[in-house]
Amino acid sequence: MGNIIIGQSGGPTAAINASLAGAYCEGVKYPDTKVYGMIGGIKGLLDGKYIDLSEYLKTEKDIEILKQTPSSALGSCRYKLPDMAEDKAVYEKLFDLFAELDIKHFIYIGGNDSMDTVAKLSAYAKEINSDISFMGVPKTVDNDLAVTDHTPGFGSAAKYIATTVKEIICDSSVYDIKSITVIEIMGRNAGWLTAASALAKGEDCCGVDMIYLPERSFDLEKCVQKTKELLEKKNTVVIAVSEALRDKNGDYVANSGSVHAELDAFGHKIMSGMGQFLAKHLGKSLGVKARGIEINTPQRCAAHLLSKQDIDESFDAGAMAVAASKNNRTAEMAVIIRESDNPYSYRIETADIECCANLEKTIPQEWIINDGTYVSDEFIKYCRPLIYGEVTPILKDGLPIHMKLK
C-alpha cells in the first residue's frame, strides 16, 4: 500500500495538530504502513528533515496532547513551489525522496498557498505517471477557503475571539465615564474572524456596537459620526475592526500617508495597527478616552480554549484525507459539508484541489448589514455551531502540556 508522509504549512492555528492527529490515527490503521512527518513543511523535507511519527505518538494520551498543542507541531514553512515548467529539479528531488521512503500518500495540511503546493505536486505526478497520491487538508483561522463550508481552525479562533471580546466588554464598562474601545482582529481580506465578535452578544452581554470588515470599504468620517451618535446614548462604545481595512480607493486606512508596507513570501501585504489608529483618531476627534486592543497572536494559538466541534472536525478532515488517498484519490482536498444548522451536523468529503487552491472566500455581502457596521443573524446561525463544546486541557504544574515533535 505504501507509506504516508504528512506536512504542515502556512500560518499556524490551534487546530492544525488535530488534523495531524487524525491523519496519523487513520494512517496507522493500515498494515505495513509507516507514517512520516515532514519537519518544517515541504521546505524542510527538501532539506531531508522528517520523522517517523510512531516514535513520538505512542499512547492515546500522546494523541490527546497533540490535539491540544497549538501551532504546527511539525513546524511549518512559507515556501511556494516553482512552476514545473521553470524548475523541475525541486520536483525530482522530492520524488526521489518519496521513492526512497516508499511514500505513496502525501498529506499536506494548510491554507490556500498550501493547496497550491498539493495542486502542483499532483500535476507533476500526473505528468510523470507517478502513482503517488497528493491530498490537502484545509487549515486556516481565516476561514477563507472555497468549497469547504468552513475551515478547520476557524471555530477555535472564533470561540477564543468571542470569549475574549465578551471579557473585554466587561472590562470596558466598569467605569462610569465615556470611553471607546477598538478591538483589532485578524483577517486581511476576509472578515470571518472579526465577524465572530458578534457572537459575544447575548442576555448577559450587550455585544460590540459596530463591526468593520474588509469586505466593505471603510469611511473614517462616517465611523466618527456613528461613534459620536452611540456615545450620546451610552457610555461605552466597543468596536471590532479587521486588521486591514481599506478606504474607497483601496488604500489601507491605518497606513494613510505612508508608502511603506512589508510583503510576505507570497506577496501579501503585512498590515497591523488598525485598532490603535482608529482608537487614536476617534479619541482625538471626539475628546473621549479611547484605547486600541489588538487580540494578536493568541487568537490563532490559544489551545487552552478550543472548540470541541472544531477539533473533532479537524481530526476527521485529517483522517478523511488519508482514507481517500488510500482509496486511490489524488489532487483533492478534504472539505466540510454542512448537513444542517440546528441541530448542527456535518460530513467530510473530498473535492478537486483546483476548485480550492488560490481562491479566497469572503463573507457574503448580504450578511453585512447596518451600512457595513454589523453582521446579520444568518452569520450567527452559520458561525454559532462552530464554537460549541469544550476540550478540557491536560495540565501539568498548572499549565497545559504540549507535544514536541521537533
Kindly list the residues in this chain that would bind a second copy in the complex (CB under 8 A). 8, 12, 40, 43-44, 69-72, 75-78, 159, 162-164, 166-168, 170-171, 173-176, 199-200, 202, 204-205, 293-298, 300-305, 307, 384, 387-390, 392-393, 395-404
Minimum CB separation from a second copy for residue 219, in Å?
Answer: 27
Query: CA 253, CA 245: separation in Å to the nearest integer?
Result: 6
Closest CA to 187 of 141, 250, 236: 141
79/91 with CB nearer a second copy: 79
Minimum CB separation from a second copy for residue 342, in Å?
Answer: 12
Minimum CB separation from a second copy for residue 328, in Å?
Answer: 32
**Amino acid of residue 145:** L
Minimum CB separation from a second copy for residue 111, in Å?
Answer: 13
3/68 with CB nearer a second copy: 68
Minimum CB separation from a second copy for residue 293, in Å?
Answer: 5
Could you tell me if 230 and 237 are in contact, meaning their C-beta atoms sit under 8 angstroms apart? yes
Minimum CB separation from a second copy for residue 162, in Å?
Answer: 6
Which H helix or E strand runs over 293? strand 289-294
Minimum CB separation from a second copy for residue 99, in Å?
Answer: 24
173/217 with CB nearer a second copy: 173
Could you tell me if 76 and 42 are in contact, meaning their C-beta atoms sit under 8 angstroms apart? no
Quote the strand ranges of 296-362, DSSP E: 332-341, 344-352
296/362 with CB nearer a second copy: 296
Could you tell me if 17 and 66 are in contact, meaning their C-beta atoms sit under 8 angstroms apart? yes
267/398 with CB nearer a second copy: 398
28/298 with CB nearer a second copy: 298
* CB atoms closer than 10 angstroms to residue 342: 8
Could you tell me if 220 and 281 are in contact, meaning their C-beta atoms sit under 8 angstroms apart? yes
147/295 with CB nearer a second copy: 295
Provide CB contacts within 8 A for 91, sequence distance 6+: 81, 84, 121, 124
Angle, CA of 184, 13 and 400, to the nearest 5°: 100
Could you tell me if 179 and 168 are in contact, meaning their C-beta atoms sit under 8 angstroms apart? no
DSSP state of 197: G
Catalytic, 87? Answer no
Q: Which residues are bridge partners to 238 per DSSP?
A: 181
Query: CA 282, CA 375: separation in Å to the nearest integer?
Result: 22
Closest CA to 10 of 53, 51, 43, 36: 43
The residue with cell 468571542 is 162
* CB atoms closer than 10 angstroms to residue 248: 9
Query: CA 65, CA 70: separation in Å to the nearest integer?
Result: 10
Q: Could you say which of 113, 142, 312, 316 is catalytic? A: 142
101: left (phi over 0), alpha (psi -120 to 50) or beta: alpha
Q: Any idea which residues carry the catalytic annotation?
A: 142
